[in-house]
């Protein structure tokens, strides 16, 4: 794992450029206003090769679709907002299970496969009615209302470590708090936010990121290299360099391979800190659950640090999934 440290003066440069300059710059930020910044890291090559990183869509959703669909149905939810639609994989799974879905993403490039799927399956009512929009998390409620949508969703989902793309520009997580508040504000009372992040406790401690997990199990994955940026000794950004191998054209599955590489950057949300961030947004009395990899529930005493047998730094869970209900 490569580690960088910046002091206060260097920190201002980082915030202006949103990049790890000594390693490799990320994509530029797109802005609606100086204080409304959403990163689109999926320009160019990343969007082209994302399906190769995901692998089989069918095999991916098998890992969690039953749990997610059952949870939504048990709560009586029907109208879902997918705020990290990307190529549409989770939205499609929900549509196929009878949910009414509105899908958004900040990256128009990543939405192209979803739009193509909607067109190719337009004769199916669910897909003909599928709403897909480009929108900004930091102006989400206004964006949706300006587009003509009622902001009273039963559930908001933000999966695949997507929320971690939103950086902390001012050391107080203001952008992240704004986005979470907007997720809350587009829910009806009794609606839930279902949001996840990688197990950054483990990544920071071990210095490595698991190559395969519940979401990403492609045979094309060769390696993921982890780099970490500290600002004033606080972890501020993790860069993951993804290496994929794909067969060269005409060589067959056992022939020569092309190596495809791309980088994405993330804010390293720690389990207990992210739990507090959500509770600050929804209120301490909001109904709250956390599971590891859509499987084992994390108990309250574990989240509160009262169970000495549970240590997020050594727990090799790949993803934590949080569900919190709006009062």
| 3-state SS, one letter per residue, for 143-163 | HHHHCCCCCCEEEEEECCCCH
pLDDT of residue 40: 54
Helix 108-120 to helix 89-96 angle, to the nearest 10 degrees? 30
Contact in structure between 224 and 215 (CB atoms under 8 Å): no
Contact in structure between 101 and 72 (CB atoms under 8 Å): no
Q: State the DSSP string of 153-222.
A: EEEEEE-SS-GGGS--SSSS-HHHHHHHHHHHHTEEEEEEEEEEEE-HHHHHHHS---S--SS---TTEE
Domain 27-198+268-325: assigned CATH number: 3.40.50.150
H-helix segments, the chain: 8-17, 45-54, 57-62, 65-74, 89-96, 108-120, 125-128, 140-146, 174-185, 200-206, 271-282, 300-303
- Core vs surface per residue 79-114: b (16+ CB within 10 A) or e: ebbbbbbbbbbbbbbbbebebbbbbbbbbebbbebb
Q: What is the mean pLDDT of the chain?
A: 85
Residues of the chain with pLDDT under 70: 1-45, 47, 249-255
Report, as residue numbers or ranges, the catalytic residues.
42, 160, 165, 198, 216
Helix 45-54 to helix 108-120 angle, to the nearest 10 degrees? 60
Token digits of residue 271 = 């389990």
pLDDT of residue 150: 95
pLDDT of residue 17: 36
Contact in structure between 264 and 240 (CB atoms under 8 Å): yes
Q: Could you give the strand order of the β-sheet that contains 257-266, starting from the edge strand earlier in sequence?
A: 2-6, 221-231, 234-247, 257-266
Contacts from 217-223 at CB under 8 Å and sequence distance 24+? 217/55, 217/56, 217/59, 217/60, 218/52, 218/53, 218/54, 218/55, 218/56, 218/244, 219/55, 220/52, 220/53, 220/55, 220/244, 220/245, 220/246, 221/53, 221/55, 222/259
Token digits of residue 250 = 């005409």
Cα separation, 229 vs 238, whole angstroms:
6
pLDDT of residue 253: 56
Token digits of residue 79 = 């109208």
Domain ranges of the chain: 27-198+268-325
Cα separation, 225 vs 20, whole angstroms:
15
Phi, psi of 180 (to 5 degrees): -65, -40
Q: How many CB atoms lie within 10 A of CB 150?
A: 11
pLDDT of residue 60: 82
Token digits of residue 280 = 């600050």
pTM: 0.85
Phi, psi of 91 (to 5 degrees): -60, -45
| Tens-place pLDDT, residues 68-115 | 999 999 999 999 999 999 889 999 999 999 999 999 998 888 899 999
Contact in structure between 262 and 26 (CB atoms under 8 Å): no
Cα separation, 222 vs 211, whole angstroms:
8
Contact in structure between 139 and 32 (CB atoms under 8 Å): yes
């Amino acid at each position: 794992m490569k580690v960088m440290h910046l002091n206060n003066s260097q920190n201002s440069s980082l915030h202006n450029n949103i990049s790890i300059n000594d390693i490799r710059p990320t994509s530029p930020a797109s802005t609606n206003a100086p204080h409304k910044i959403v990163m689109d890291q999926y320009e160019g090559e990343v969007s082209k090769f994302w399906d190769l990183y995901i692998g089989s869509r069918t095999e991916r959703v098998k890992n969690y679709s039953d749990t997610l669909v059952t949870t939504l149905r048990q709560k009586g939810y029907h109208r879902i907002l997918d705020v990290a639609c990307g190529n549409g994989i989770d939205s499609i799974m929900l549509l196929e299970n009878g949910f009414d879905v509105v899908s958004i993403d900040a990256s128009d490039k990543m939405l192209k496969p979803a739009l193509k799927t909607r067109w190719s399956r337009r004769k199916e009512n669910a897909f003909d009615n599928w709403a897909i929009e480009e929108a900004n998390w930091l102006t989400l409620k206004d964006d949706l209302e300006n587009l003509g949508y009622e902001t009273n969703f039963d559930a908001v989902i933000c999966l695949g470590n997507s929320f971690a793309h939103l950086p902390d520009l001012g050391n107080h997580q203001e952008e992240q708090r704004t986005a979470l508040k907007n997720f809350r504000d587009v829910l009806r009372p009794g609606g839930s936010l279902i949001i996840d992040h990688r197990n950054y406790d483990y990544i920071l401690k071990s210095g490595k990121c698991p190559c395969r997990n519940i979401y990403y199990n492609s045979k094309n994955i060769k390696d993921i290299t982890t780099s970490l940026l500290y600002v004033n000794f606080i972890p501020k950004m993790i860069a993951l360099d993804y290496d994929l191998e794909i067969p060269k054209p005409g060589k067959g599955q056992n022939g020569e391979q092309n190596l495809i590489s791309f980088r994405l950057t993330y804010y390293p949300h720690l389990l207990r800190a992210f739990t507090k961030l959500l509770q600050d947004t929804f209120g301490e009395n909001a109904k709250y659950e956390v599971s590891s990899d859509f499987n084992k529930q994390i108990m309250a005493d574990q989240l509160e640090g009262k169970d000495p047998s549970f240590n997020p730094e050594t727990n090799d869970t790949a993803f934590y999934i949080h569900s919190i209900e709006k009062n």
